[in-house]
Amino acid sequence: MALSFVVQRHRARRLHYDFRLELGGVLVSWAVPKGPTLDAKVRRGAYHVEDHALDHAGFEGRIPAGRYGGGDVIVWDNGTWEPHDTDDPAAALEAGELHFDLYGVKLRGRFVLVRTRGDDWLLVHKRDEHAVDGWDPEEHPKSVLTGRTNDEV
């Protein structure tokens, strides 16, 4: 069975991208301030945050100011993912290193999440046929659900 993933571009007090992998019936989540990239030379800091419910994957819209995460959210990318080199991705995450393949609209190919300390992780794209030097998520600002930008929701 295919597992889903979603990346939401979330303009809250600070802009970040919420990177979420379906696993064990929830969305295991990281906040990535600079966003994921296809550039294999770049390591992106990723802060592990609380799991979200699966139905959050379709959320796009405004969160009122004053509420937690107040700001606007678009579904920046989505698709499916597969663990690589493990049939127990939960254990791989617990051990602090998960290799996986993404089959998204924008993000494709092999990625690695590595824990550095506490809730601090790094998100890296491996050098593969999907790697693109200099690829910047901010140059791909539209929702894959609706074509809207954060300004338009």
State the residues that interact with Mn ion by CB under 5 A.
10, 18
CB atoms within 10 A of CB 80: 14
Q: Of 75, 101, 48, 44, nearest to 153 (Cα)?
A: 75
Q: How far is the CB of 107 from Mn ion (least distance, A)?
A: 17
> What string of H, E and C letters represents the secondary structure of 53-115?
EHHHHHCCEEECCCCCCCEEEEEEEEEEEEEECCCCHHHHHHHCEEEEEEEECCCEEEEEEEE
Residue placing its CB nearer to Mn ion in the complex, 20 or 110: 20
Residue placing its CB nearer to Mn ion in the complex, 55 or 87: 55
Q: How far is the CB of 146 from Mn ion (least distance, A)?
A: 18
Residue placing its CB nearer to Mn ion in the complex, 10 or 44: 10
Residue placing its CB nearer to Mn ion in the complex, 59 or 103: 59
Q: How far is the CB of 117 from Mn ion (least distance, A)?
A: 21
Q: How far is the CB of 110 from Mn ion (least distance, A)?
A: 25
Q: Of 35, 15, 25, nearest to 77 (Cα)?
A: 35
Closest-CB residue for Mn ion? Answer: 10
